[in-house]
Structure 1
Amino acid sequence: MTALLRVASGPSVGCIVGALLLANGVPFGPAYIAGLVAWMAFWWVTEAVPIEVTALLPIIVIPFSGIYERNALGETCAPYADKNVFFFLGGFGLGLAIERTDLHRIGALYLLRIAGRNGANVIGAFMLATAMISMWVNNTATTMLMLPLAMSAIAIQSDRRFAAPLLIGIAFASSIGGMATLVGTAPNIFFTSFLAKEGKSIDFLAWVYVAGPVSAFLLVGAWIWLVYFLFPVRRFQVAIPEEWLDEFRGRRSLSRDQWITLAVFLSAAMTWILKEPILRIASASGWDSVHAVLQRVEDPWVAMAALVTLLLVPFSKPILAWKDVEGVPWGVLMLLGGGLSLAKAIEASSLDQRIASVAAHFAGLHPWIVLTLVVAIVIAISELASNLATATALIPILSEAGPAMGIDQISLLTAVVLASSCGFMLPVATPPNTLVYSQRKFPAGDMIRAGFVVNLLAILAIPIAVLQLRFLLGNIGP
């Protein structure tokens, strides 16, 4: 398919979908928005144009839909400045500071010191370090931070078999680690934004309780599959670069900038984790003033407060300069805003209710079967589209379908969000996959074989975890 044909096929698909719905009695508003959904989904999956460009389509198309009676352009554009867009911006800032001060490298080096020279343990240490960083830093940035360390280790090994499991393990761990926290990856942040539009919220710790076990299971499962079955390296003795050993011996303590960055990072992380438990204690104890203040300390506020702090201190030479922030991937922020704008339009046009009525036909199936099918479909889509594009396309569509299928909304959307981060097979499925494959240290077939099994583990684990642990998500409300 030529580039021109791919570009033209997007609006063509949208027009066909909209026309078919109109012909079947669907009102103009929902039919128009359904056509836009089809158009954007086609461009996101085929990447006929950059996915960030696709995310700008709502601004151009939605004002003519008639779904907003007044200030149509303002209503369409407002989600691009949603508070959770700034949540992501603040998270990027924290990641930049960690990179600038080399905290990620220090953590990885200490893990390797503990792991020793056994091949399986070293790969496990790299994967654990990557996953831990990815819990707080963008998946792509995490992979870029870990790649230099990995390539240094690979360069001095005599056995070439070490490269494939190490690089693939880093890519997989970047995606898996990001699933575990609400700030770890863009689909999770989009999910919180979508819930906020519905008048609901999800507790940071509640998400960790549900997503954490899935993330841990997939991380351990991927490691075992890579180092014990697909690429047996458990008897391989790793040579550790001499400069790393020198760094171990020469390091006395953290620098001033590293201490400041670590303090800001830990303050943000502990606020995200402890805010809801403290809110409940304050409410139960009658501490009204404490409760009122903490209610205003929302997660995006914490992220932006951390970023502003890093831009200000130390006053003589701040950890981050504004030119560093200019390097933030603004396209991802536009993608997040575009998904929120589309979700708002789907709700305003009542398209979500029509989808829910169709989903009612699946009401007779067991919830586990329904969730397994949904997870498998989402993972298949995420192999071809980015995780954020997958989440932003599917969450608004499926938001009202859960109750109609006998599954509560939050459980279904949690499964969708987790599955959207599970594109493990194809080198083009995620930026981490693409980054490690671009090193040309293994054939694409190695990643496909590795990812196929990890995808199966995700299809098994996500429905079980969501159904068994969904009571932990019960702390959801206005």
Structure 2
Amino acid sequence: METQVRNGAAPAAQERFDTIRGRAGLVIGPLAFALVLLATGGLPWSQRALAAVLVLVISWWVTEAVPLAVTAIFAIVLCVFLGVADEDTVFGAFGNDTIFTFLGGFVIARAMTVHGLDRRIALRVLSAGAVVSSPARTVIAFGAMAMVISAFISNTATVAMLFPIGIGIVGAVSAINREQDGRDLRYSRWSTALMLVIAYGASIGGLLTPIGAPHQLIGRDLVEEQTGRTINFVQWVLTFAPIVLVMFVVLCAVLLWLNRPEVRRLEGAAEYVAAQRAELGRFSRGEANTCVAFALAVVLWTAPGIGSLVLGDDHGFVKLMHEHLTEGVAAVFAATALFLLPLGRSAGRREATLTWGEAVKIDWGVILLFGAGTVIGSLSSKTGLAGTLGSALAEHLGVSSLTAITILAAVTGLIISETTSNTASAGIVVPIVVPIAVAVGVNPLVPGLVATAAAGYGFMLPVSTPPNAIVYGSGMVPMTRMLRSGAVFDVLGVAVLVSGVLLMSHLVGF
């Protein structure tokens, strides 16, 4: 009975909230669209129309009145219909190199899931030494795995993979603990910390690489579009790796401090992990082939950046790599390898590592969302709306220094990400803060990167991110504990993010 209440009440309340929010958005969006058209008569028509479309998109993205991808496609169709730009300009954004980076990365991640490589890695880490015998070490180990894995596959997929393993360990430990002293650890402070570290670790770990989360590729592309600067794979990693490591230490300290484990030893956890590893069997050909494809992607992604560091940007071979070995090209090469590397023969037919039937199960909605976000960001620059908006906001808010604008970017991204998706947050915040930085004459790359990273925050509410929703649905995370832990980490995380990007931007050379 207790489990039913814990697992059923929260999703029902969240569903009611989402329904009310969606219905409100259906009304607010069109009203805001009409109001902006009427209130911006002093602007050129292209800016007025684009501003109205942008307000409609923000309203529907925040309230999720319509699926995000549908809103995105509808927005770019409206841009053509209202004469903001012609169809070749608008739909041409879907030929963007980052689209193919998405495709390749998603296909490789799909292969990891299909062949169980991600699960094998997780269980191998947990079986090392006496990791799962200690409550604190178990929390740290799960957080570390979530952080590293989410650097290369989506945070939602990472949590979906680690979540059942965590549930299994909690269940095994609780069964033994109930027999010994009658306490049920399924609803303990320790289980709360374990669930939260899986969700939060995946969210911060995506920052390690630009492909770690869809909103980062979207935000980076918008920053590059509006600043004219290129941020390659190696530059991104060098910038954010130290920040992520510091944030992970802060995360573990916060969760273990606010959710202090009730026991000192987890009886039965090691046996559960050993049993799960035994079920996996031997390392398969599919897992080996997936490792080869993944290694190929990493080598090709990092080669141009490493070449620049070693040989310099002016070297002929480095220039050739930057021109022809883009991230999208590298991702497609690696993904194609999965359809070429054989598993063997089945019924006389050659069987590849990944079939097209499995590959098409990637999230195509995110790709549509990215294309539309690129269109709106590009049009905001071409029509002059970005400059108009940036100058007005800079004057109204009174911000003039790089530090003040960077803090504004982080706080704005954080607040919006608490109520809507990460991808939508990046599409909303980046086009606003970059023009503000340009208007006051400071380096726009820094607040743009911070806004992109902050769009992946949102640790307080189940609706903030899919990872939060997944672990909250376990019934092991009371709302009060999520709010308290998330609020503390939000504040500390923003401080680390802002100071870290300001420091690393100088060292990396942005």
Q: Does TM, scored on the shorter chain, surpass 0.5?
A: yes
Structure 2 counterparts to residues 159-198 of structure 1, below 5 A: 159-160=185-186, 161=188, 162-198=190-226
Query: Is 1:147–2:166 an aligned residue pair?
Result: no
Counterparts of 1:293 and 1:45, CA distance in 2: 40
Change (3 A) 1:186 1:238: farther
Larger deviation, residues 378-387 vs 361-370: 361-370
SS at match of 2:212: coil
Give the structure 1 partner of residue 236 of structure 2: 207
1:227–1:233 Cα contact (<8 Å) kept: no
Contact 1:120 1:234 in 2 (8 A): no
Superposition deviation, residue 19 in structure 1:
1.6
Shift of 1:247: 5.5
Which one of 88, 94, 98 corresponds to residue 84 of structure 1?
98
Q: Secondary structure at the match of 2:342?
A: coil
Distance 2:78 2:278 in 1: 60
Conserved? CA contact 2:72–2:369, under 8 Å: yes
Query: Deviation digits for residues 121-145 of structure 1, max 9, x if unmatched?
Result: 0111011011110000011111111
**Count of residue correspondences:** 469
Letter in 1 for 2:258: F
The RMSD of aligned alpha carbons is: 2.3
Counterpart in the other structure of 1:339: 373
| 1:95-106 paired onto structure 2 within 5 Å | 95-106=109-120
2:354 to 302, 320, 323: 320
Task: Determine the structure 2 residue equivalent to 1:8.
Answer: 27
Show the counterpart of 1:310. Answer: 338
In the other structure, the counterpart of 1:28 is: 45
| Separation (CA, whole Å) in 1 of partners of 2:508 and 2:393 | 23
Gaps of 5+ in 1: none
Equivalent residue for 2:149?
133
Report deviation, 1:8. 2.6
1:43-122 to structure 2, matched below 5 A, reads: 43-68=60-85, 72-114=86-128, 115-122=131-138
Residue 439, structure 1, aligned to residue 474, structure 2: yes
- Structure 1 pair 415–154 and aligned structure 2 pair: CA distance change class (3 A): same
Change over 3 Å in CA distance of 1:195–1:371 after alignment to 2: closer
| Counterpart contact for 1:359–1:405, Cα < 8 Å | no
CA distance in 2, matches of 1:6, 1:251: 46
Take 1:259 and 1:225, find their aligned partners in 2: how far apart are those partners?
Answer: 38
Q: Which amino acid aligns with 1:51?
A: L
Most deviating of 189-198 and 26-35: 189-198
Match of 2:245 among 186, 203, 216: 216
Say if 1:249 and 1:102 are closer, same or farther in 2 by CA, change over 3 A: closer
Residue 428 of structure 1 aligns to a residue whose secondary structure is coil
Point out the more displaced range, 419-428 or 209-218: 209-218
- Asked if the contact 1:150/1:166 (under 8 Å) is kept, the reply is yes
Q: 1:21 to 1:236 in 2, by over 3 A?
A: farther
Q: Among 330, 334, 345, which residue is 2:364 paired with?
A: 330
C-alpha change, 1:138 and 1:353, in structure 2 (3 Å) is same
Measure, in 2, the Cα distance between the counterparts of 1:11 and 1:139: 33
Q: Report what 2:11 is aligned to.
A: none
* TM-score, normalising length: structure 1: 0.92
**Cα offset for 1:281?**
4.0
- CA shift, 1:465, in A, is 1.0
| Structure 1 Cα separation of the partners of residues 44 and 76 of structure 2 | 21
Once the two structures are TM-superposed, the CA of residue 40 in structure 1 deviates from its matched residue by: 0.5
